[in-house]
């Protein structure tokens, strides 16, 4: 199998698993698990996938991560496009399977772990605040990734640190926007549900990319300069 194709397949699988298990936990057992349980579902999925597909593709499974790697010149434009297409396809496939699982019970499918804001969602923050929240959460997540993957000595613990970071940003974000920090993870459920989820998904496509760009800028301005001076 072609090396590039292997990367794309790995990204498809990783994003499929993230959406199925993360969004699935929120959609089917959110009331029992609570915010902490859902957060751990997303975080532990990243931990598991990092040690399986990490050696193949780097385990981005998130267009915001791939975008950060692109502007950090660690990913080519061609690979960036391939990664994002694979991630979106994996997210939609994961959402479709989750939809089928819930639909098989005969119940109406009203939730797939979709992101949102406004009246009736979480504590009801407005659109502008949802943008700010998602930019901030993504900034923290991507900034951590850039730091923990900067040295080979962190290789054995990088997956664990990244997974736990995703869990902790979820703990705050679930009650606000459902926590995206990942355009593919948001787009998959929105495409299957349509309606409000799809009309609001623009926030969760744009904001994580902006947060990723800010994280790269901060890392370049703070950490790299510090490395040169030590």
CATH of the domain at 90: 1.20.1080.10
Q: What is the C-alpha to C-alpha distance for residues 89 and 58, in angstroms, rounded to an integer? A: 18
Residue 19 vs residues 3, 13, 175: alpha-carbon distances, Å: 25, 10, 18
- pTM, to two decimals: 0.94
Domain span including residue 120: 3-229
Domains: count for the chain: 1
Q: What's the pLDDT score for residue 226?
A: 54
Q: Is the pLDDT of residue 230 over 60?
A: no
pLDDT in tens, 102-144: 999 999 999 999 999 999 999 999 999 999 999 999 999 999 9
Q: Is the pLDDT of residue 32 over 50?
A: yes
Confirm if 180 and 65 have CB atoms less than 8 A apart: no
Q: Is the pLDDT of residue 229 over 70?
A: no
Per the rule left: phi > 0, alpha: psi between -120 and 50, beta: everything else, 115 is: beta
Q: What is the C-alpha to C-alpha distance for residues 92 and 47, in angstroms, rounded to an integer? A: 21
Provide the b/e sequence for 11-36 (b: ≥16 CB within 10 Å).
bbbbbbbbbbbbbbbbbbebeeeebe
């Amino acid at each position: 199998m072609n090396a590039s194709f292997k990367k794309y397949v790995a990204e498809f699988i990783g994003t499929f698993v993230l959406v199925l298990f993360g969004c699935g936990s929120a959609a089917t057992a959110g009331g029992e698990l609570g915010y902490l349980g859902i957060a751990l579902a997303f975080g532990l999925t990243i931990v598991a996938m990092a040690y399986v597909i990490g050696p193949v593709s780097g385990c981005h499974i998130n267009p915001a991560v791939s975008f950060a790697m692109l502007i950090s010149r660690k990913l080519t434009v061609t690979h960036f496009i391939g990664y994002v297409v694979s991630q979106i396809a994996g997210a939609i496939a994961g959402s479709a399977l989750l939809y089928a699982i819930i639909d098989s019970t005969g119940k109406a499918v009203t939730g797939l772990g979709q992101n949102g804001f406004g009246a009736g969602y979480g504590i009801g923050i407005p659109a502008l605040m949802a943008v700010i929240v998602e930019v901030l959460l993504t900034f923290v997540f991507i900034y951590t990734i850039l730091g923990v993957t900067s040295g080979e000595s962190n290789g054995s613990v990088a997956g664990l640190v990244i997974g736990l970071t995703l869990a902790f940003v979820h703990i705050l974000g679930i009650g606000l926007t459902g926590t995206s920090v990942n355009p593919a993870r948001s787009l998959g459920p929105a495409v299957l549900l349509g309606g409000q989820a799809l009309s609001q998904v623009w926030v969760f496509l744009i904001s994580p990319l902006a947060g990723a760009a800010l994280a790269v800028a901060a890392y370049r301005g703070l950490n790299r300069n510090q490395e040169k001076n030590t």
